Amino acid sequence: MSTEHPQPTAEPTLDLDRSDPAYRSWLKDAVRKVQADANRSADTHLLRFPLPEQWGIDLYLKDESTHPTGSLKHRLARSLFLYALCNGWVRPGRPVIEASSGSTAVSEAYFARLIGVPFVAVMPAGTSTEKTRLIELHGGTCHLVDDPRTVYDVSARLAAETGGHYMDQFTYAERATDWRGNNNIAESIYQQMRLERYPEPTWIVATAGTGGTSATVARYVRYMQYDTRVCVPDPENSCFFDGWAAADPTATSDRSSRIEGIGRPRMEPSFLPHAIDRMMRVPDAASIAAVRTLEERCGHRAGGSTGTGLWAAWKLVAEMLADGQRGSVVSLLCDPGDRYLEKYYSDTWLAEQGLDIAPHRRAADAFLATGRWQG
């Protein structure tokens, strides 16, 4: 007697299709709009800071204030939006939320309005009124907090409550930008320098807020096998210098930076210490003295972060001159000074902060006259 055993049936294939043609159509249009912004914007200028010809050293400022939103952060915001859109994180009708001290929020508000989504900036209460005005001008709203250290948690909470996306520039800045090229700021610098007498800079100076710009520049330099070194100057009340010097990723600062846009209370994920050749801690009074001197000598009014970088660049030029070196140094003009008239260009504000820029102004004038560094 034969016993027949039933044949096992094939295990069913689990299948879940979340295709959303309407969303993909919106996404394609959003990405196109962000990319079109880059096509409409000519590259930023590379300005030459006047130094005596006999020094044999050229100093340049990459003028990022000419972007549509007026700062270096326009590049970052565009990269962050493309990264978030292509990852599926930004959705139609849902807000984008960012922790920002100002300029990044201005640029992100611009791109949010460009693709038609709400934008909320979580910022310290002490952010300049001009920046909050610009955020609102571009259709964003401002959520101010008294303790700058809470901007991260508040941003994440608002995103969770609204179903929106926390852009988190401090985590994603270094990974959202294509550091191998694609017209990032480093590639742009080298393209603009190629006909100069010293086309490969001895130093590129980049201040750090997220750390994304210095990471992009340092990676590109290594990828292209240049000998250029990268210097990151840091303002007072920032932990980056101490964390880098001590190789301490847990370094913090209990006070917020007076130089808006740079300096952080914690070692941000996008700050890559091992990619940086040199750091300086620049006194805030020196940063402000530098932008006052820049306006006097060149007619360009810039924000405080530009002064931090320029002060470091002058020190590097003085060292090269003392060592008999020839070559070039590039720093950044990060944003316009008109955003800080009530701060860095106000003697009343300086007095309230206890900042005396006179000794640094004298040191800057002496350097530009003699080439010798006193600071």
The helix, strand and coil proportions of the chain, stated in percent and rounded to the nearest 5, come to: 45, 15, 40
R_g of the chain, CA atoms, integer Å: 24
Burial 92-119 (b: 16+ CB within 10 A, else e): eeebbbbbbbbbbbbbbbbbbebbebbb
Q: What is the pTM of this model?
A: 0.90
pLDDT band at 2 (very low <50, low <70, confident <90, very high): low
**Paired strand residues for 99:** 122
- pLDDT exceeds cutoff 80 at 121: yes
Average pLDDT of the residues in 332-348: 94
The token pair at 291 is 């932008």
Strand, helix or coil for residue 264: coil
Sign of CA dihedral 345, 126, 312, 201: negative
Please give the helix or strand (H or E) that residue 204 lies within, else none.
Answer: strand 203-205
The token pair at 241 is 């210098």
pLDDT band at 370 (very low <50, low <70, confident <90, very high): very high
How far apart CA 106 and CA 137 sit, in angstroms, is: 9
- pLDDT exceeds cutoff 70 at 199: yes
pLDDT digit string, tens, across residues 208-244: 999 999 999 999 999 999 999 999 999 999 999 999 9
Whole-Å CA distances, 222 to 211, 218, 270 = 17, 6, 18
- Residues 202, 327: contact at Cβ < 8 Å? yes
* Mean confidence (pLDDT) of the chain: 94
Pairing of strands 203-205, 327-333: parallel
pLDDT band at 124 (very low <50, low <70, confident <90, very high): confident
Q: In the Cβ-directed half-sphere of 214, how many Cα atoms lie within 13 Å?
A: 31
- Residues 231, 204: contact at Cβ < 8 Å? yes
pLDDT band at 1 (very low <50, low <70, confident <90, very high): low
Average pLDDT of the residues in 70-97: 96
The token pair at 196 is 């100069």
User: At CB < 8 A and 24+ separation, what contacts does 151-160 make?
Assistant: 151/99, 151/100, 151/122, 151/123, 151/124, 152/99, 154/99, 154/122, 155/97, 155/98, 155/99, 155/122, 158/95, 158/97, 158/120, 158/122, 159/95, 159/97
Average pLDDT of the residues in 275-292: 98
- Residues 130, 103: contact at Cβ < 8 Å? no
Q: What is the DSSP string of 147-192?
A: SGGGHHHHHHHHHHHHT-EE--HHHHHHHHS-TT-SS-HHHHHHHH
pLDDT digit string, tens, across residues 154-192: 999 999 999 999 999 999 999 988 887 666 899 999 999
